[in-house]
Amino acid sequence: MRSVRPKSMRALVRIIPIVTVAVAAACAPRGPLVEPARAFGPTAGGARSTVVVDSARGEVVFLAGQFHVPAMSHDEHMKMEMDMAMSGEHESHAYSPLIYFEWPLDGWYRGFRTSLVDADGRVLPRSLMHHVTGVDFDRRQLLNGEAERFMAAGSETSDHVLPRLLGVPMKGGQKLGIYVAWHNELGRDFDGVYIRIAMPFIAANALIKPLSAFPVTMDVNDVAGESNAFDVPAGHSERRFEFTMPIGG
């Protein structure tokens, strides 16, 4: 009878270092998130943005600021309530400009952790932000010709990270953008506000590569350049969204 033990032992010897590396990486201490003051240095007015690859935490960190977020007046708050009641839109929100940046490396994007902070990284009230949207200008959405939304979060949205075996494929240099809608009902202005979005990633040279996944949006009232809000009449009503799948599979 031929023994297979030597071959099995050689396989085990090869596996042990890989397991050891994986355990060491999982147990390695992760430092604090990148602070704007360290990333930007002294900031003298005007909003800037930067991207930092935090290899220790396995995250791409996007920082933008500093922003001045004024308190909403009573009239602005009432107008917002009227906007919502009449059309479902938040026309009274103060929007940041679209802030462009490039994804820094080949690999997979796995989710996001969004926070508002000051220059030293101290967390500010998340309620200052009504929502933040991320746009991928290098990839279209599946069911329409608009640019893909690679992330979206509101003040009440929890952080979202995909399981380790799933990821959204990204290329270094991919053109992205972020914009924020401010909503300050706290009764005072906030200066020196930064948005920090930490995005876990898996590098292209990872030993275990994830399955590629893509975000998909379906909307029964999606008309390019127009609001997707609509009135719901009393009684029974129906709306349909018909589409032709643009790819095979």
The encoded tokens of residue 136 equal 């991928």
Cβ proximity of 63 and 53 under 8 Å: no
Q: Report the C-alpha gap between 241 and 219 in whole angstroms.
A: 7
* Phi, psi of 48, deg, nearest 5: -130, 165
Q: Is the pLDDT of residue 37 over 60?
A: yes
The pLDDT, as a whole number, for residue 167 is 97
1: number of CA atoms within 13 Å, CB side? 3
Residue entry with tokens 């040279």: 205
Residue 95 CB contacts under 8 Å (≥ 6 apart), including other chains: 179, 180, 181, 182
Most confidently modeled range among 13-22, 56-65, 214-223: 56-65
The pLDDT, as a whole number, for residue 80 is 53
Q: Report the C-alpha gap between 37 and 121 in whole angstroms.
A: 8
- Cβ burial of 150 (10 Å; 0-12, 13-18, 19+) is buried
Q: Report the C-alpha gap between 108 and 110 in whole angstroms.
A: 6
> Over the chain, what is the mean pLDDT?
82
- Amino acid identity, position 55: S
Most confidently modeled range among 14-23, 38-47, 154-163: 154-163
How does DSSP classify residue 145? S
pLDDT band at 18 (very low <50, low <70, confident <90, very high): very low
Cβ proximity of 103 and 139 under 8 Å: no
SS3 (DSSP) at 89: coil
What is the Cα 206 distance to its own chain's centre? 22
Q: Which of 7-11, 30-34, 40-44, 157-161 has the lowest mean pLDDT?
A: 7-11
Q: Is the pLDDT of residue 190 over 70?
A: yes
Q: Report the C-alpha gap between 76 and 213 in whole angstroms.
A: 40
DSSP E strand stretches across 141-219: 147-154, 160-161, 166-170, 175-182, 190-203, 211-212
The pLDDT, as a whole number, for residue 226 is 77
- Cβ burial of 126 (10 Å; 0-12, 13-18, 19+) is middle
Cβ proximity of 126 and 115 under 8 Å: yes
Q: Is the pLDDT of residue 21 over 90?
A: no
Q: Is the pLDDT of residue 26 over 60?
A: no
Q: Is the pLDDT of residue 87 over 50?
A: no
pLDDT band at 79 (very low <50, low <70, confident <90, very high): low
pLDDT band at 15 (very low <50, low <70, confident <90, very high): very low
Arithmetic mean of pLDDT, 162-188 = 95
The pLDDT, as a whole number, for residue 76 is 57
Q: Which residue, among 112, 124, 12, has the nearest Cα to 66 in the 3D structure?
A: 124
